[in-house]
Amino acid sequence: MQTIYLDNAATTAIDPEVIDAMLPYLREHYGNPSSIYSLGRKTRLAIEESRKKVASLLSVKPSEIFFTSGGTESSNLCLQKAIQDLQVTEVITSPLEHPATLNTLKILTEKEGIPITYVGHHPDGSIDLEKVLTKLETTPERALFSLMYANNEIATVHPIPFLGKLCREKNILFHSDMVQAVCHIPVNLKDCNVQFASISGHKFHGPKGVGVAYIDENVKISPFILGGGQERNMRGGTENVAGIVGLAKAMEIAIKNMEKDIRHIQDLKRYCKESIKTHFPDVQFNGDASANGLPTILNFSFPENENTTLLQMKLDMMGICISGGSACSSGALGNSHVIRYIRPENNVPLRVSFSRFNTKDDVDELIGALQKCLNERIPANG
């Protein structure tokens, strides 16, 4: 059976060119980057070259790039260090953030006894900008605001550069989870005016287990992982050299081809949306299904009935990989905190997420499989 992979917001297939870039660091260049002999110097150089490449692609300085194990660790690092080291007195975030942000902030604010405010969203998933502005205007200095660039379930894109400018004027610390935005839509990190950002390699055809924490050079925080002082003392532990090289290569490919890839992916999203609307008139789209939303993600719901029961599992049996929520809650179909917030009534949500490797044939396969599931006749007595 052919596999149709339409879950690229969960993870992406690693690009063969990225594998080629990584292989020498898995085979012959295995030296510890902290060793002073040439085998070690070679891997140290690879890390620093990757750091320079990533920094230049994001329009920031190499000294502001810290390699981590992924998006979750980056958010833990940034939020934990901001709250613990920077005298934060209040936290503002959104209820639709990724669990890496929500759970970290919940535990930290409880532990430190700091108030936390969740700013609201409109039913289409966009942030309630008026409420955010009022909140930011009336917030005391040394607040921390955390808002994702683009939502991983419903494709809404938030005005991060605009909010970043405001936060800087108000001296409010700003963290943005950019995991679904960087390498998918144009992001100039410097223009965002954030102090902290989280990025993950496996979301843009890089390897798993490697990410980036961006930390503004003016922010002074203590080490996150204590050990041998790697990553300029921020994160002890021998570096994931091949992973770092792979992340930098994947970012380079993604940013070089971004315009072309966005056009292709946007076309797929439009085609998928129109096909679904044509074949399933009772569908409801969640979040931003328009051209303004994240091109990679399309989220929609069907009414709950006998045919939509276990829909994700039935699609899996037909070779279709598709999500009912975020990667962390896959399997928990319909149990996504994001969908529950914007569509409280009973429904069966599905998230299709595209990459440059998808084609219209993949969408046709999905539609065919959905037709089989949804138009199935249920015997009168069950």
| Rama region for 255: left / alpha / beta (φ>0; ψ in -120 to 50; rest) | alpha
Give the residue, chosen from 31, 71, 246, 293, that forms a contact with ligand PLP under the rule CB under 6 A: 71
- Distance between CA 211 and CA 206 in Å, rounded? 10
- Distance between CA 116 and CA 143 in Å, rounded? 10
The beta strand positions in the chain, using DSSP E, are 4-5, 65-68, 90-93, 116-118, 143-146, 173-177, 196-200, 211-215, 284-286, 297-302, 320-321, 348-353
Nearer to ligand PLP, 89 or 103 (CB): 103
CA nearest neighbour of 51 among 225, 180, 244, 218: 244
Residue 180 makes contact with ligand PLP by CB under 6 A: yes
Residue in 183, 321, 328, 373 annotated catalytic? 328
Residue 286 makes contact with ligand PLP by CB under 6 A: no
**Cβ 142 vs Cβ 87: under 8 Å:** yes
The answer for residues whose C-beta is within 8 angstroms of residue 316's C-beta and 6 or more apart is: none
Minimum CB distance to ligand PLP, residue 40 (Å): 27
Give the residue, chosen from 98, 249, 343, 356, that forms a contact with ligand PLP under the rule CB under 6 A: 98
Nearer to ligand PLP, 31 or 246 (CB): 246
By CB under 6 A, which span of 30-38, 42-50, 103-111, 172-180 interacts with ligand PLP?
172-180
Give the residue, chosen from 12, 50, 72, 193, that forms a contact with ligand PLP under the rule CB under 6 A: 72
Minimum CB distance to ligand PLP, residue 202 (Å): 6
The residues facing 183 across adjacent strands are none
Minimum CB distance to ligand PLP, residue 211 (Å): 5
Residues of this chain, 190-219, that bind ligand PLP according to CB under 6 A: 200, 211
Give the residue, chosen from 6, 15, 25, 70, that forms a contact with ligand PLP under the rule CB under 6 A: 70
- Distance between CA 123 and CA 121 in Å, rounded? 7
- Distance between CA 267 and CA 354 in Å, rounded? 10
328 is catalytic: yes
Give the residue, chosen from 316, 327, 357, 367, that forms a contact with ligand PLP under the rule CB under 6 A: 327
Minimum CB distance to ligand PLP, residue 33 (Å): 22
Cα–Cα distances (Å) from 375 to 98, 299, 317, in that order, read: 34, 20, 17
By CB under 6 A, which span of 69-77, 167-175, 212-220, 264-272 interacts with ligand PLP?
69-77
Nearer to ligand PLP, 29 or 175 (CB): 175
Minimum CB distance to ligand PLP, residue 97 (Å): 8
Give the residue, chosen from 15, 90, 177, 288, that forms a contact with ligand PLP under the rule CB under 6 A: 177
Residue labelled with tokens 């399309």: 298
Residue 100 makes contact with ligand PLP by CB under 6 A: yes
Nearer to ligand PLP, 100 or 255 (CB): 100
- Distance between CA 227 and CA 204 in Å, rounded? 30
Continuous H helices in 257-299: 258-279
Give the residue, chosen from 50, 76, 152, 355, that forms a contact with ligand PLP under the rule CB under 6 A: 152
Size of the site for ligand PLP (CB under 6 A): 14
Give the residue, chosen from 148, 172, 192, 272, that forms a contact with ligand PLP under the rule CB under 6 A: 148
Residues in the chain, how many?
382
The answer for residues whose C-beta is within 8 angstroms of residue 20's C-beta and 6 or more apart is: none
> Site residues (CB under 6 A) for ligand PLP?
70-72, 98, 100, 148, 152, 177, 179-180, 200, 211, 326-327
Catalytic residues: 328
